């Protein structure tokens, strides 16, 4: 392997076997295990999940009791059981470093309870400062958490990994010194998007009843307030009233599905598709990708769109500006402005040469910066560094 094998324990709020290998957050642990490192995981136990299982023949997962708050699916961890299981796992697997993700769940509180082992935490954003759920009571609670318990969690870790440089200043605002903040993005799998784009485009458009002379604007994400769904629907109405050869495909599910369905009923140019497994093919069939989020970490759908070579219109929130550099790799608009969002989409519609240039630039950008090989090597160096430093 050419590098020392590391013993790593991932402490995460949830482990879903069907996504552990493929999704951005879980993929870090799985791919480190594939590279020969010993990786185990401790997480909350959601209804129907076993207390222990081995995922992919590589990663033992230990789950602890948690009480799940309805609607927002927020797990309240049984801290006594967590500490018992965590100490047992550290001893049994000779764990050298704990890797937490993220910090806004009680399971992360163990970071300031475990004293004798190095700890790293990866975070997507800071609730109440740069990350918002979109409902005032939840966002106020998020801010209160960030400046109290969240601050303690971060201060207990040797390093805080942020997924984009634009998040670093918010972490610094919670008292984390600059030398403890590290920027490492997500990795993205090339295999997932190794599709015949021309064939996929033709087949998927035929399936959806979209002609080749129509322009397709694609959104992929959860239908939650923080994703800017209302802004998207308002912009879609404006764009389709201006240009009747544009379709908006909305991929995803969530509590705002009725709102999307009602908009589609009034405007047949809006097509809600729900949750889909064929996102690479849908991206091949599309011409523009849009992400009007009110708050973000580093959205995986954005990386997927960039990797697919789609020109992107997105809001300047979270880590999005690390991917979408306005005028160079895409177009950025202020969050919450349906007018500015519609104007940017129209700009792409009017200027196909701009779409081509920016789509080429963004694909080149993500292939260089967000390849798994580079991401994993950065994590390996970081783990080795904090292990050598000690707790």
pTM for the full model? 0.79
Query: Are 34 and 57 contacting, i.e. CB atoms less than 8 angstroms apart?
Result: no
Long-range contacts of 46-51 (CB under 8 A, 24+ apart): 46/14, 46/75
- Residue 372, both tokens: 């798994």
Query: Are 118 and 159 contacting, i.e. CB atoms less than 8 angstroms apart?
Result: no
CA triplet 366, 336, 312: central angle to 5 degrees?
Answer: 25
Q: Secondary structure of the chain: what % helix, strand, coil (to 5)?
A: 45, 20, 35
Question: Which whole-number Å values give the CA distances from 197 to 192, 250, 286, 297, in the listed order?
Answer: 12, 20, 10, 28
**Phi, psi (deg, nearest 5) at residue 334:** -65, 145
* C-alpha torsion 70→24→270→324, nearest 10: 120
> pLDDT by residue for the chain (391 residues), tens digit each?
445 789 999 999 988 766 665 554 557 888 899 899 999 999 999 999 999 999 888 899 999 999 988 766 789 999 999 999 999 999 999 999 999 988 889 999 999 999 899 999 998 888 888 777 767 888 898 899 999 999 999 999 999 999 888 889 899 999 999 999 999 988 777 777 678 889 999 999 999 999 999 999 999 999 998 899 999 999 999 999 999 899 999 999 999 999 999 999 999 999 999 999 899 999 999 999 999 999 888 888 999 999 899 999 999 998 899 999 999 999 999 999 999 999 999 999 999 999 999 999 999 998 888 888 888 899 999 999 999 998 7
- Residue 326, both tokens: 């306005």
Query: Quick one: pLDDT at residue 24?
Result: 44
Query: Quick one: pLDDT at residue 134?
Result: 67
């Amino acid at each position: 392997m050419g590098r020392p094998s590391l013993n790593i324990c991932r402490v995460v709020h949830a482990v879903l076997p069907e996504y552990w290998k493929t999704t951005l957050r879980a993929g870090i642990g799985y791919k480190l295990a594939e590279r020969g490192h010993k990786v185990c995981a401790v997480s909350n136990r959601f209804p129907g999940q076993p207390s222990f299982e081995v995922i992919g023949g590589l990663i033992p997962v230990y789950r602890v009791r948690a009480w799940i708050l309805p609607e927002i699916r927020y797990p309240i961890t049984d801290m006594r059981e967590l500490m018992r299981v965590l100490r047992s796992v550290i001893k049994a697997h000779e764990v050298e470093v704990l890797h937490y993700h993220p910090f806004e769940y009680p399971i992360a509180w163990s970071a300031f309870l475990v004293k004798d082992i190095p700890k790293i935490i990866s975070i997507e954003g800071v609730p109440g400062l740069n990350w918002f759920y979109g409902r005032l009571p939840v966002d106020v609670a998020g801010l209160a958490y960030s400046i109290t318990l969240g601050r303690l969690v971060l201060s207990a870790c040797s390093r805080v990994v942020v997924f984009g440089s634009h998040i670093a200043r918010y972490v610094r605002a919670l008292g984390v010194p600059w030398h403890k903040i590290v920027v490492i993005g997500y990795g993205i799998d090339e295999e997932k998007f190794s599709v015949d784009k021309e064939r996929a485009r033709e087949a998927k458009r035929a399936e959806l009843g979209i002609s080749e002379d129509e322009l397709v604007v694609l959104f992929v994400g959860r239908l939650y307030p923080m994703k800017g769904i209302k802004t998207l629907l308002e912009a879609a109405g404006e764009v389709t009233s201006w240009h009747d050869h544009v379709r908006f495909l909305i991929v995803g599910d969530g509590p705002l599905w009725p709102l999307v369905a009602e908009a589609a009923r009034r405007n047949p140019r809006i097509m809600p598709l729900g949750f889909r497994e064929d996102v690479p093919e849908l991206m091949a069939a599309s011409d523009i990708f849009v992400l009007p989020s009110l708050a973000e970490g580093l959205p995986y759908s954005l990386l997927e769109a960039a990797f697919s070579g789609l020109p992107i219109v997105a809001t300047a929130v979270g880590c999005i500006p690390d991917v979408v550099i306005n005028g160079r790799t895409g177009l950025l608009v202020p969050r919450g402005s349906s007018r500015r969002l519609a104007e940017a989409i129209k700009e792409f519609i009017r200027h196909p040469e701009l779409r081509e240039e920016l789509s080429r630039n963004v694909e080149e950008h993500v292939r260089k910066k967000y390849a798994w090989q580079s991401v994993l090597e950065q994590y390996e160096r970081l783990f080795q560094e904090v292990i050598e430093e000690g707790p």
